[in-house]
Amino acid sequence: MSAPVHFKFVETPRRVREDRRFVAGRGRFVADVRLPGMVHVALVPSQHPAARIIEIDAAAALAMPGVHAVVAGAELAAAVDPMMNGLDTPNVRRFPLAVGQVRYNGEWIAAVVADSRAQAEDAAELVEASYEALPFVLDAEAALKPDSVPVHPDHGSNVLLDRTFVWGDVAQHFAQSPHQIAFRVTWGRNSTVPVETFGVVVAWDPWNEILDVWASIQMPKYADQIARALRLPANAVRVHYDVDVGGSYGVKRGIKHTVLAGYLARRLNRPVRLIEDRLENMRAGDAHGPDRIFDVTVAFDSDGIINSMKMRALDNVGAYAGRAPFQLGKPVGAIVGPYRIKSVEYRAVSVTSNKAAQEAVRGFGQAPTNYAIETAIDRVAAALGLERIEVRRRNFIRKDEFPYLIPSGTRYDSGDYHTVVDKVLAHVDWPALQQQREQLRAQGLLAGIGISACLEPSGGNSSFEPLLNPKNTTSTWMESCRINVDALGYVTATIHTTSSGQGHETLAATVIGEVLQIDPDRIRIVRPDSLASLPGNSPVGSRMAIMLGGAAFHAADKLKRKLIRIAAHQFGCAEADVDYATGGIKQRGGPGQLSWIDLVTIAHRNFHLLPAEMEPGLETTHVMQVPTGEALPTPDGRVQMYPCHSFEFHVVLVAIDPDLGKPEFRRYVIGHDCGTVINPAIVKGMTLGGIAHGIGAALLEEFVYDDQGQMISQSFMDYVLPSAHEIPEVEIVHHCTPSPFTVLGQKGSGESGYLGAPAAVASAINDALAPLGIVMSKLPIRIPELSDAIAAARASK
Amino acid sequence: MKPAPFDYVRPASIDEACAALAVEESVVIAGGQTLIPILAMRLARPARLVDIARIPGLAGIREEGDAVVIGATTRQVEAERSAVIAARVPLLARALPFVGHAPTRNRGTLGGSVANADPAAEIPLVLVTLGGVVVVHDGRTTQEIAAQEFVLGPMMTALATGALVVGLRFPVWPDRRIGVGFHEVSTRASDFAFAAAAAQIALDASGRCTKCTIGIGAATPRPVRRDALATKLIGSTLDDTDIRAGVADAVAELEIMVDSHASPDYRRRAAKALAVRALTDARDAARGVPV
């Protein structure tokens, strides 16, 4: 499919249609779904990081006013199947409530159902649990040791995954390189922490035998997983996608919440609402992100060319398996970043611990990996006394080398990294920026410039599933769109997922409008429920511009071709001899002319005028396969991960008062290339939000456990999110290298900013610390620790 | 995040409020900016809330001789926008923008901040630094307690059961050339500070310091004044070297708060840097240098 040369609606600064209802406070979120007779759930949390449950006494709680039920793990486990694991780890079993043993502080041991949430909370306090405390393990390295306490004794160890991939001749490249550097960096456990916690409302209709679900979800195969766990036919679970989701970026998975609420709704025969409060969300919402230690060694030449890399990534997934281990797999598709590193040894290790369960977070493991790769580039530059940008330039893949096959089997679609860097340096006035750093240093401040150059793999395939789980043969991760033109000529298109702020309605309408050359604002976008939906995999993996945009494009193109066939048939000419413009069709070199409504009328009312064997009506559907997603991984672990690769280049200037240790941003510039931009406002919002999120990861956000296994950061008092005060003015420098693999040249942007900001901020701080001869190598870098490190370095000088 | 059940009373007068507070496990609610979140998280579970926000005469800012008296339920935003505070208690005016953030200042009260005695709170620090007084009523008598004696430690005050903070008395300096400084460091703009420093000084016509007060908060379990340092600086011209040397000594002997948020070394280091800045700002302002 060749893209139009000039766009009419794509790339133009059109309003985001969803914004109107959100700005006016008229979104419809799960908390707005109120059903007659609805009852509320509160959860009883474990006080222990690990303990055997001896007894749960609910008598006092059941005696409280308004209480309908108290359900503990044993009852639930007898009625539902365990939740799915991503890896082949059948002995790591998980139910929505702890069964027999608790495995982290905050884990739910019982659910209390009452007429109001307040009553449920009052009663939850009276549920008496007696425990026998068990030994626990929090640290990933400790959990990895063979003599560690196993979080799941039946599994035998804490190791969920330990696989070493070797792509290319690592041994030879290391042997031939005159230099090597080894280092460790640590990525603290953070997440995306949306303002709206996870919530679900479930109603069971026994007369129609259907379970209706309204949920704040962003979860592939959600309905299937609910049905499977609840032992219902999949067509007895109806998920309503017309619910606005108040933020997610990966964490709104909600399987355990929904299975629990679904069981309760059926047992009580009442609609059940489970909306996490902040404590439940932070402690046990299955919403923590990667918690990762990287050990990296790079082999390089004296001119800074990096020949090979060895990386061990050790991820602490917490108490249960889930999909989290796959977050070590996705980065395989961009394991060399934007660089021509010839070979890679990658050891991916995933261990359980007595922390809360980890789930997907924006980038699915890519932001931590990018932080490790970018640290390597900075260290190589420092070791050789070379300029950091120059080292990047020397190692970048050149624009004439695309599509570029990286050692781990992914072919990058396109890019022009050198030009983006040139544009950013021209924009910031690079010599002036360096001078500004020197001026700040002369004022007695520590000042540093941070650099990062990162990729955003996009188009969300699921190739990491078969890569890490040989029993999984998934080779498609489709997305769909259906377009219907009614008898009055109005266009309605369907999307088959919830949205958590990504602007999918604007996206689909813009693309369909572009193809059909009609005003996108006149196109209705609807979200059927899951039973009326076409196959889809939800907005994960920075995929919707590519996949929903692609499906909408193809469905619209099918519709357009049908209109052309109808017109050519009326004109008695070849289809090639008509011109389609703004919805109407003219015969080229002839008198024929049909307006949009003429064509609609023929399709809907004049079967006798249709070409032979054409179906009446104007309805088209497209189920789209992921571009490039054709094959399963090779036995040595090479796979085409995602189809598209956006590029971002950050330049950050920070100043640090050496006594106070507080990094202050003096300049923040990002060069961004995500190919063709479908809606500039959406892409800008993603990028700014992503940078804010990345600054949080670099400086502020972490779920902290004390050495007793108690979670300390349970609320926004201790889990510190950046506010408007902490986020600098960000300057965005655009570049467009269209992807050859997508319909309009678009790439993904849902993770932009976040994938490079943590690396850039860390780089800036370390540049500021360079004169003191120290580096910070764990995120987040907190103010007191930074000041203490500076003071120690000064004292030892 | 629903509070445990509680009773709620709204007394019509100070005496009624005191009577209500004499009942066990009753707590005052005024602006609620601290209490409501901890109620919601069930970190506090009082049997009864005594809402004093609408008691007539308990809010307001008035000049009384050599002081400005601020009623306990005066909203922080009112003081922040008050011309009287700006002119007469400039140190408070300087500190108020650091208190929480704009939405919490719309409801938060000055009396509530002092009665809550959070070590990181800015208003008690200013009151202690200026040698102010907490006006307390216990249903029978009205008592004035020096701020330094009122705030005993983290979330601890000298307020007796059945007593109510009714006002804060901030001394006004009549001197012609005064200057103030206030600095703090926190993770984010509105967070609990790791350390804070407040200073107010007066200069004579020749630029010599005639009055000086300096207080440290947040780094310490309660706000403290450094009177020895003030005494040392009075009579000097407050040169940078005077300030630095004096502050170094004054901070060295501070009792530093120990918790998990920051090392004691950090808090002391930050307190020192901030005290230098607060004094320097105060001096420059008194000298007429724009700060």
Is residue B261 one of the residues assigned to a domain? yes
Same domain, B66 and B161: yes
Q: Distance between CA atoms of A114 and A268, rounded to whole angstroms? A: 11
Q: Chain B residue with minimal CA distance to A727?
A: B188
Assign A797 a pLDDT band (cuts: 50, 70, 90).
confident
B265 closest CB neighbour out of A657, A706, A788: A788
Same domain, B189 and B261: yes
Domains identified in chain A, total number: 3
Is residue B28 one of the residues assigned to a domain? yes
pLDDT beyond 60 at B1: yes
Is residue A609 one of the residues assigned to a domain? yes
Please answer yes or no on whether A720 and B188 come within 8 Å at the CB atom.
Answer: yes
Same domain, B189 and B282: yes
pLDDT beyond 50 at A21: yes
Same domain, B201 and B278: yes
Same domain, A209 and A267: yes
Is residue B1 one of the residues assigned to a domain? no
Q: Are A568 and A574 in contact (CB under 8 A)?
A: yes
The backbone region for A6, taken as left when phi is positive above 0, alpha when psi lies in -120 to 50, beta otherwise, is beta
Same domain, A280 and A300: no
Please answer yes or no on whether A122 and B5 come within 8 Å at the CB atom.
Answer: yes
Assign A347 a pLDDT band (cuts: 50, 70, 90).
very high
Domains identified in chain B, total number: 3
Same domain, A125 and A107: yes
Region A386-403: mean pLDDT is 98
Same domain, B202 and B272: yes
Q: Output the pLDDT for position B198.
A: 98
DSSP β-ladder status, A404-405 and A411-412: antiparallel
pLDDT beyond 70 at A161: yes
Same domain, B193 and B241: yes
Q: Chain B residue with minimal CA distance to A700?
A: B187
Extract the tokens encoding A147.
């003599």
Same domain, A451 and A487: no
CATH number at residue B238: 3.30.390.50
Same domain, B183 and B167: no
Q: Which residues in A lie closer than 8 A to residue B197 (C-beta atoms)?
A: none
User: What SS3 string covers A644-666?
Assistant: EEEEEEEEEEEEECCCCCCEEEE
> DSSP per residue over B239-291, as a string?
-HHHHHHHHHHHHHT------SSS-HHHHHHHHHHHHHHHHHHHHHHHHT---
Q: What is the mean pLDDT of chain A?
A: 97
Same domain, A636 and A774: yes
Assign A2 a pLDDT band (cuts: 50, 70, 90).
very low
Reported as a single tens digit per residue, the pLDDT across A628-668 is 998 999 999 999 999 999 999 999 999 999 999 999 999 99
Reported as a single tens digit per residue, the pLDDT across A421-480 is 999 999 999 999 999 999 999 999 999 999 999 999 999 999 999 999 999 999 999 999
Write phi, then psi, for A460 (nearest 5 degrees).
25, 80
Please answer yes or no on whether A720 and B265 come within 8 Å at the CB atom.
Answer: no
CATH number at residue B16: 3.30.43.10
B2 closest CB neighbour out of A118, A278, A723: A118
Is residue B291 one of the residues assigned to a domain? no
- pLDDT above 70 coverage of chain A, percent: 99
Q: Output the pLDDT for position A4.
A: 47
Q: Which residues constitute the domain of residue B14? A: 7-51
Q: List the helix and strand counts (H, then E) for chain B.
A: 12, 14
Please answer yes or no on whether A788 and B266 come within 8 Å at the CB atom.
Answer: yes
Please answer yes or no on whether B185 and A279 come within 8 Å at the CB atom.
Answer: no
DSSP state of B154: T
Same domain, B90 and B192: no
Q: Which residues constitute the domain of residue A713? A: 292-463+632-795
pLDDT beyond 60 at A1: no
Same domain, A507 and A552: yes
Q: Which residues in A lie closer than 8 A to residue B274 (C-beta atoms)?
A: 660
Is residue A570 one of the residues assigned to a domain? yes
Q: Distance between CA atoms of A626 and A463, rounded to whole angstroms? A: 11
Same domain, A767 and A702: yes
CATH number at residue A41: 3.90.1170.50
Bond prior to A403 in cis (omega within 30° of 0): yes
Please answer yes or no on whether B185 and A660 come within 8 Å at the CB atom.
Answer: yes
Last residue of a domain, one of A624, A650, A685: A624
Write phi, then psi, for A81 (nearest 5 degrees).
-90, 155
- pLDDT above 70 coverage of chain B, percent: 99
Same domain, A490 and A396: no
Same domain, B150 and B223: no
Please answer yes or no on whether A700 and B41 come within 8 Å at the CB atom.
Answer: no
Extract the tokens encoding A374.
């970018």
Probe site for chain B from A43, A278, A660 (most B CB atoms < 10 A): A660
Assess B190–A contact: CB distance below 8 Å, yes or no. Answer: yes
Q: Output the pLDDT for position A241.
A: 97
Is residue A385 one of the residues assigned to a domain? yes
CB half-sphere exposure, B68, CA atoms < 13 A: 24
Q: Output the pLDDT for position B291.
A: 59
Q: Output the pLDDT for position A322.
A: 87
Same domain, A263 and A130: yes
Write the ipTM: 0.96
Q: Which residues in A lie closer than 8 A to residue B188 (C-beta atoms)?
A: 700, 720, 722-723, 725-726
Assign B134 a pLDDT band (cuts: 50, 70, 90).
very high
Torsion of CA A95, A96, A98, A100, to 10 degrees: -40
B265 closest CB neighbour out of A720, A725, A791: A791
Residues of chain A with a CB closer than 8 angstroms to some CB in chain B:
117-118, 121-122, 125, 277-279, 657, 659-662, 700, 706, 712, 715, 717, 720, 722-723, 725-726, 782-784, 787-788, 791
Reported as a single tens digit per residue, the pLDDT across A755-774 is 999 999 999 999 999 999 99
Same domain, B152 and B227: no
Assess B36–A contact: CB distance below 8 Å, yes or no. Answer: no
List, in sequence order, the alpha helices (H) in A347-447: 366-384, 388-395, 417-428, 430-442
Same domain, B72 and B92: yes
Probe site for chain B from A787, A788, A790, A794 (most B CB atoms < 10 A): A787
Is residue B258 one of the residues assigned to a domain? yes
Same domain, A713 and A744: yes
For chains A and B, CB pairs below 8 A equal: 65
Could you tell me the sign of the dihedral formed by the alpha carbons of B41, B44, B48, B54, in that order? negative
Region B186-197: mean pLDDT is 94
DSSP β-ladder status, A210-215 and A237-240: parallel
pLDDT beyond 60 at A334: yes
Region A343-351: mean pLDDT is 98
Q: Output the pLDDT for position A5.
A: 59
Give the three-state DSSP class for B135. strand
Same domain, B159 and B70: yes
Is residue A57 one of the residues assigned to a domain? yes
DSSP β-ladder status, A108-114 and A39-45: antiparallel
Is residue A140 one of the residues assigned to a domain? no
